Amino acid sequence: MILVVTAAGLGLLGLPAAMRRVGRQLVPRHWALLCAVALLSGTVLVITTILIIAAPRALEFVGLPAAARACEHMLGGLYPGGTVVWFSAMALGLSAAVLGTKAVVHAHRSVRRASIGSAAGTGMGRRGRFDIILMPDERTCAVSVPNGRRGGRVLLSRGLVDTLSSSELDAVCAHEMAHLRFSHQRYLVLAVLVEEAFWFWPPATRSTSALRLALERWADESAAGDSSDIRQRLRSALLTVATVAPSPTLAAFSAMDGLMERLHALDAQPGRTRLWAWLVLFAPGLLVGIAIAYATTRIGHQAYCFITMPGRCGSP
């Protein structure tokens, strides 16, 4: 039964990738939120089941045989046993913990380095809670750097300022401020965590790519709204920076991923989410939820028997 939950978790990690075409029919903000929920839920499920599978042998290994036997009796046949399964669960669990923690730390360090590096730039004014900084960089790029509750900074390179018109720069600034306003940095931290922790599951990486594209489209729509002029300015700016590769841990105005989809979306007027898209997207999640609920009920029943009725339930 634990394997059912594990499979459900892996399915959730790959769900945004599998449903990417349908997700395009949603408002980008909704699609990004669904991607994030699927990735976070899948992460929690897979890590939890890995810990459950590894727990009995781990307790034995640290010198707690009584606790190990109690754990095995409580779970009964709900999880696969054997040295190979235990070793695999331990290896995957440890690698996920180490690599995931490393990814989160690296993401926070990237933000800190960008924030410190912005001191080398020149202030171009302040828009609301956000500072606009001109950086001495000849590349054409723009990056948003969050700064806690105090707002954040939009870093514009010298190359970008020299290349774009003032109206295009305004559109780019609005795009980056949308990243800051909606705390997209948190979504990016989740993305790098999933990519590193679940290196053994390729669909997870494709799902994080879907999340990143949804975030960019979310910022595009927030910056442009219904204005056809601003949409065309953003489209023109995208074509200018299409060859710049952004850092995966920072929200940046880049078109490396999903260029054609973003251009097509900006050419059209923003639409509303279609009901059929919601139904198609929620169907897999509903099936996964049913499987998880059933497995949780079985595990809870085993735990109840072990704790309150020792000797009467028997081993399954």
d(CA 192, CA 248): 7
Amino acid at 79: Y
d(CA 67, CA 69): 5
Contacts 24+ apart (CB under 8 A), 119-126: 121/155, 124/156
Burial classification of residue 311, based on how many CB atoms lie within 10 Å of its CB (0-12 exposed, 13-18 middle, 19 or more buried): exposed
Strand partners, 155: 133, 143
Nearest to 272 by CA among 24, 26, 100, 9: 26
| Strand order through the sheet with 130-135 | 122-127, 130-135, 152-157, 142-146, 251-252
Burial classification of residue 288, based on how many CB atoms lie within 10 Å of its CB (0-12 exposed, 13-18 middle, 19 or more buried): buried
| CA distances to 60, 100, 101, 102, 295 from 195, in Å | 31, 8, 12, 11, 27
Asked if residue 154 lies in contact with residue 144, where contact means CB atoms within 8 angstroms, the answer is yes
Q: Digits of tens for pLDDT over the chain (316 positions)?
A: 677 778 888 988 999 998 888 888 888 999 999 999 999 989 988 888 877 777 666 666 666 666 666 666 655 554 555 666 667 777 888 888 899 999 999 999 999 999 898 888 899 988 888 999 999 988 888 899 998 766 899 999 999 999 999 999 999 999 999 999 999 999 999 999 999 999 999 999 999 999 999 999 999 999 998 888 999 999 888 888 766 666 777 777 766 667 788 888 888 877 666 655 656 666 666 666 666 666 666 555 555 554 454 444 444 4
Nearest to 249 by CA among 185, 163, 292, 154: 185
Domain residue ranges in the chain: 2-308
